[in-house]
Amino acid sequence: MAKSDDCMRILQGLLVFGNVVIGMCGIALTAECIYFVSDPHGLYPLLEDTENNDIHAAAWIGIFVGFALFALSILGIIGIIKSDRTLLLVYIILMLITFAFEMASCITAATHRDFLTPNIFLKQMLERYQNSEPANNNDKLMIEGVTKTWDKIMLQNHCCGVLGPSDWQEYTSAFRVTHSDADFPWPRKCCAMDEQGLPISLDGCKLGVPGYYNSDGCYDAISGPMNTHAWGVAWFGFAILCWTFCVLLGTMFYWSGIEY
Partner 1 sequence: LPYVPRVPSVALLGKVTATTFALERPCCIFNQHANALDSIWLVVAFANATATFRNPSSRADVPPYKQLPTAHSYMTLEMAAATYTCSAPSPAILRVGSDTACRDQATQDPCNGPLPSPGPYRVKFLLMGCHGPKAETRWSRPILLRRALSPSTIDPAPTRHGSDVVVLISILASLGTVLATAVLGALGAKVWGSLCHQDLGTSAFVRRSYRTHHIPPALPQPLPPGCRC
Residues that bind partner 1 (CB under 8 A): 1, 4-5, 8, 92-93, 96, 99-100, 103, 106-107, 110-111, 113-115, 117, 119-120, 122-123, 126-127, 165-166, 169-173, 176, 180-183, 185, 203, 206-210, 213, 215, 234-235, 238, 241-242, 245, 248-249, 252, 255-257, 259-260
User: d(Cα 37, Cα 48) in Å, to the nearest integer?
Assistant: 13
Report the chain's C-alpha Rg in angstroms.
26
Name the residue nearer to partner 1 (CB basis): 71 or 107.
107
Q: How far is the CB of 9 from partner 1 (least distance, A)?
A: 12
Which of 227, 223, 215 lies closest to 120 in space, CA to CA? 223
Three-state DSSP state, 62: helix
| Residue 191, phi then psi, degrees to nearest 5 | -80, 150
Q: How far is the CB of 106 from partner 1 (least distance, A)?
A: 6
Name the residue nearer to partner 1 (CB basis): 64 or 171.
171
Residue 129, Cβ neighbours under 10 Å: how many? 21
Q: How far is the CB of 38 from partner 1 (least distance, A)?
A: 25
Three-state DSSP state, 213: strand
Which of 149, 120, 147 lies closest to 131 in space, CA to CA? 147
Q: How far is the CB of 252 from partner 1 (least distance, A)?
A: 6
Name the residue nearer to partner 1 (CB basis): 39 or 127.
127
User: d(Cα 187, Cα 154) in Å, to the nearest integer?
Assistant: 10
Name the residue nearer to partner 1 (CB basis): 2 or 196.
2
Name the residue nearer to partner 1 (CB basis): 6 or 194.
6
User: d(Cα 125, Cα 128) in Å, to the nearest integer?
Assistant: 5
Q: How far is the CB of 19 from partner 1 (least distance, A)?
A: 16
Name the residue nearer to partner 1 (CB basis): 70 or 212.
212
Residue 206, Cβ neighbours under 10 Å: how many? 18
Q: How far is the CB of 161 from partner 1 (least distance, A)?
A: 11
